[in-house]
Amino acid sequence: MMGETEAVEIDDILDDWFIESLKSYKDLHVYQLEHPTQIIEWTSGKTVCVAGYSSGKNEILELRLPLRLLADEKKGLCAERDFKVVHGGFSEGPVCCLRHIPGTRCAVTNDGLTSDLQLWDLGADDTDVIRKTGSLPGTSVSQAGSRITARLSSPPQVLHGAQSSGVQLTQLSTGQTLYRLEVDSTKPLSSLKFVSETAFLASCCDGTVYLADTRTSAPPQASPPPGECALWWTDASAASQCRVIMLSSSGQAVVSDLRNLGGALCQAQLDVQTSPRKPEDVTVAWAPALDGCFSVSGLSGLVQIYDTARWRAELQDASPLFQHAGHSVSSQHGDGSAPIFITTHVWHPERPRTLLSAASDGSVHVWDWVDPQTN
């Protein structure tokens, strides 16, 4: 007997979404990892890290993007569409957060259960092993995991914390604490992000946002939640006019200026179907190379891209500019199993419309979408 598994009929693949995708994506790649990942982190312009989050032993993999995607003019001559596993390692516990330290081959992870961090060497050309090199203790006795962020600095440093009272800047090589966020509240954090070399946003799950500076021990600027909702996510754009977007679990999105966090510039009600319960369910991210555009996953089973260009100060419904439905469409589950959900997504740092997204069934998609408005 050969190939017991069903060969997919051709008619099955020519479904509506597939036909639609010929026009709506410039490039589309679909991969199946052995185990689902909750993180996708750039480690260079061509490589990303993914890692498992099961309760036991997990793999951390560094993958090189398919050559065909990166080829540009010579694209047609390059048939290579696959990910290459360039480095791999094992983690004793789940990997819920992974951050690459810019300018190094070092990565920092957190298991989502404590605020301690693990340090890894991602490996050089002569090896394929990702090795654990040490750990850093966190401050808080929390049941949630730490948020981690880093920017280019010498010597390398990492900003981390699970709660607002536990945010610290640690020097990697010595473990020395260089800075602590001085706030009394112990609110769980949804994200940490640098907005300049020394200034950062510590965004809490309840919608409070602290803007602080690692050079000073003065108390940070605190901005209260923009609305009623209990759960909020935040992202700050790297663009020169620093915009901050805040998204609630009910789908309300508020855009403000970093210099005036409390004042909303514009807002909209997004097209939401799911009520996320955990902070890690949702990812919201500004597009690095598309002004005013941001992406959301975890609120609807799709990755949605919105353009804030025409948003107004009054709350109005907004429709996504583009939606990636690939994960739910191509997931191969039978009727009995739980619906899959998107665990995370990231934008390519330079290519304007290229994203990577991952789902709970282990799928990873790389897609370059076409702006429907240009057709």
Partner 1 sequence: MPEIKVTPLGAGQDVGRSCILVSIGGKNIMLDCGMHMGYNDDRRFPDFSYITQNGRLTDFLDCVIISHFHLDHCGALPYMSEMVGYDGPIYMTHPTKAICPILLEDFRKITVDKKGETNFFTSQMIKDCMKKVIPLNLHQTVQVDDELEIKAYYAGHVLGAAMVHIKVGSESVVYTGDYNMTPDRHLGAAWIDKCRPDILISESTYATTIRDSKRCRERDFLKKVHESIERGGKVLIPVFALGRAQELCILLETFWERMNLKAPIYFSTGLTEKANHYYKLFITWTNQKIRKTFVQRNMFEFKHIKAFDRSYADNPGPMVVFATPGMLHAGQSLQIFKKWAGNDKNMVIMPGYCVQGTIGHKILNGQRKLEMEGRSTLDVKLQVEYMSFSAHADAKGIMQLIRMAEPRNMLLVHGEAAKMEFLKGKIEQEFSIDCYMPANGETVALTTNPSVPVDISLNLLKREMTLGGPLPDPKKPRTMHGTLIMKENSLKLVSSEQALKELGLNEHQLRFTCRVQLQDPHSDSDTLHRIYTHLKSVLKDYTIQHLPDGTVMVESIVIKVSSSAEDANAKVLLLSWSYQDEDLGSYLSSLLKKGLPT
Identify the DSSP state of 374: G
Q: Which window, 114-122, 125-133, 225-233, 252-260, contacts partner 1 (CB under 8 A)?
A: 125-133
What's the token pair of residue 101?
Answer: 């330290």
80/257 with CB nearer partner 1: 80
The reply to whether 18 sits near partner 1 by the rule CB under 8 A is: yes
Report yes or no: 285 and 295 within 8 Å, Cβ to Cβ: yes
Strands across the sheet containing 97-100? 97-100, 106-110, 117-121, 131-136
The reply to whether 184 sits near partner 1 by the rule CB under 8 A is: no
Q: Which window, 71-79, 155-163, 194-202, 284-292, contacts partner 1 (CB under 8 A)?
A: 71-79
Which SS3 state, helix, strand or coil, does residue 255 take? strand
- The CA distance from 338 to 361, in Å, is 10
The reply to whether 227 sits near partner 1 by the rule CB under 8 A is: no
The reply to whether 185 sits near partner 1 by the rule CB under 8 A is: no
| Count of chain residues binding partner 1 (CB under 8 A) | 51
Selected from 72, 126, 184, 228, the binder of partner 1 by CB under 8 A is 126
73/350 with CB nearer partner 1: 73
27/182 with CB nearer partner 1: 27
Query: What are the CA-CA distances from residue 167 to residues 25, 181, 368 (Å)?
Result: 40, 5, 36
Beta-carbon-side half-sphere exposure of residue 122 (alpha carbons within 13 Å): 27
Asked whether the CA dihedral 144, 237, 367, 302 is positive or negative, the reply is positive
123/288 with CB nearer partner 1: 123
Report yes or no: 145 and 111 within 8 Å, Cβ to Cβ: yes
The reply to whether 309 sits near partner 1 by the rule CB under 8 A is: no
What's the token pair of residue 268?
Answer: 């909209």
β 316-317/260-269 pair status? parallel
- The CA distance from 83 to 62, in Å, is 10
Q: How far is the CB of 92 from partner 1 (least distance, A)?
A: 12
Q: How far is the CB of 369 from partner 1 (least distance, A)?
A: 14
Q: How far is the CB of 334 from partner 1 (least distance, A)?
A: 17
In degrees, rounded to 5, the angle at the alpha carbon of residue 266 between the alpha carbons of residues 261 and 272 is 105
The reply to whether 66 sits near partner 1 by the rule CB under 8 A is: yes
1/338 with CB nearer partner 1: 1
Asked if the peptide bond before residue 220 counts as cis, ω within 30 degrees of 0, the response is no
The reply to whether 230 sits near partner 1 by the rule CB under 8 A is: no
Residues of this chain, 75-104, that bind partner 1 according to CB under 8 A: 76-90
The reply to whether 14 sits near partner 1 by the rule CB under 8 A is: yes
The reply to whether 2 sits near partner 1 by the rule CB under 8 A is: yes
The reply to whether 6 sits near partner 1 by the rule CB under 8 A is: yes
Q: Which window, 16-24, 190-198, 215-223, 308-316, contacts partner 1 (CB under 8 A)?
A: 16-24
Which SS3 state, helix, strand or coil, does residue 326 take? helix
Q: How far is the CB of 186 from partner 1 (least distance, A)?
A: 39
The reply to whether 317 sits near partner 1 by the rule CB under 8 A is: no
8/218 with CB nearer partner 1: 8
Closest by Cα among 86, 110, 98 to 346: 98
- The CA distance from 38 to 110, in Å, is 12
The reply to whether 371 sits near partner 1 by the rule CB under 8 A is: no
- The CA distance from 115 to 139, in Å, is 7
The reply to whether 310 sits near partner 1 by the rule CB under 8 A is: no
Contact set with partner 1 (CB under 8 A): 1-11, 13-14, 18-19, 21-22, 27-34, 57, 59, 63, 66, 74, 76-90, 126-130, 330
